[in-house]
Amino acid sequence: MSDLELQQATAVSAASHAPARRRGRMPRIGTVLAAAFVVFLLAATVAPELVATQDPNEIAPGDAFQSPSLAHWFGTDESGRDVYSRVVAGTATSLLIGVTATAIGLALGLGLGVLASFGGRIADFSVNRLVEVLFAFPGLLLALLVIVVYGPGPVTATVAVGLSTAPGYARIIRGQLVAIRSSQYVEAARVLGRSPARIISRHVLPNALLPIFVLATLGIGQAIVWAAALSYLGLGAQPPAAEWGAMLAAGRTYLATAWWMTVFPGLMIVGTTIATTVLGRALTRRGRGER
């Protein structure tokens, strides 16, 4: 089988077993919505003062715990600050934490994973042990240690979360690569005498990309959630920063009386994860030649 035949076979099987996947020309509604949400996030990141309705740090103790209204779309918090404006103001920090931590984790994980699956038995053995050592070190402890040593704040939280997710990525990437390495089409390519570099770049990485992409899109939300856990322990973003995780942690105290304080930042985290996932899917489908 030639490369072309191989690709055609894959495409055919994909098409025949995903009857629900439409092959029309129009982008899906979900994709459009996701794109709109991401545009909103980007706007909030670049020019929060244009998207927000108020100064996110302006206090008004007399207006504390107001439920959502026309004046305060997402209500107000315990200091009378506008939750919507704080959610907008927190976008940049939260995305920075989510994206950077994921990038750190993924980059380390990808490097280790590739080394383990294609570097021979010794490399595989060493990487596996290294990953195990990192695994055996509970992620939150790693984060706590980093914070205790270097002081709390978004940067330490990001680095801590990134480092603690790396072994997980390494492990799943390695698993994925090993499975693909021994799959029929790679074996076929090997039989055809393709060079290892070409096999990795043409067959393995493209096939491994989708799950990695999914991991990454999930990872952004996960990283924000872990940073929220650090905030719950009092060691996340420092006041008055309106980071989503810190807002969730702060609002939890008032869950029974002011649900809007946690629900809206929480929805932002979920929304970001869903939007990035949906867009990620759309991009992979395009890469596979679907629509």
Nearest distance in Å: CB 268, other proteins: 10
Contact at 8 Å (CB) between 81 and 99?
no
Scan residues 148-207 and list those touching other proteins (CB under 8 A): 148-149, 151-152, 164, 167-168, 171-172, 174-176, 178-179, 182-184
Query: Applying CB under 8 A, does 145 fall inside the site for other proteins?
Result: yes
- Please name the residue ranges forming H helices in 47-153: 48-51, 83-118, 120-136, 139-150
**Rounded Cα distance, 92 and 113, in Å:** 30
Give the CA angle between residues 75, 78, 80 to the nearest 5°: 60
Q: Which DSSP symbol is given to 4?
A: H
Contact at 8 Å (CB) between 101 and 116?
no
Scan residues 36-95 and list those touching other proteins (CB under 8 A): 57-59, 61-62, 64-65, 78-80
Rounded to the nearest angstrom, the gap between the alpha carbon of residue 70 and the centroid of all alpha carbons in its chain is: 32
Q: Within 13 Å and on the Cβ side, how many CA atoms surround 153?
A: 5
When the beta carbons of 4 and 256 are compared against other proteins, the nearer one is: 256
> If binding means CB under 8 A, how many residues of this protein chain bind other proteins?
89
User: According to CB under 8 A, which one of 4, 26, 70, 136 is a site residue for other proteins?
Assistant: 136
User: According to CB under 8 A, which one of 33, 35, 155, 214 is a site residue for other proteins?
Assistant: 214
Nearest distance in Å: CB 39, other proteins: 19
Among the listed ranges 44-52, 130-138, 189-197, 198-206, the one in contact with other proteins (CB under 8 A) is 130-138
Mask: binding to other proteins, 91-120, rule CB under 8 A, as x and -? ------------------------------
Going from the C-alpha of 230 to that of each of 186, 207, 266, the distances in angstroms are: 43, 35, 15
Which residues share a beta bridge with 82?
76
When the beta carbons of 40 and 232 are compared against other proteins, the nearer one is: 232
Mask: binding to other proteins, 245-284, rule CB under 8 A, as x and -? x--xxx-xxxxxx----x---x--xx--xx--x-------
Cis-peptide into 240, omega within 30 deg: yes
User: According to CB under 8 A, which one of 43, 103, 144, 205 is a site residue for other proteins?
Assistant: 144
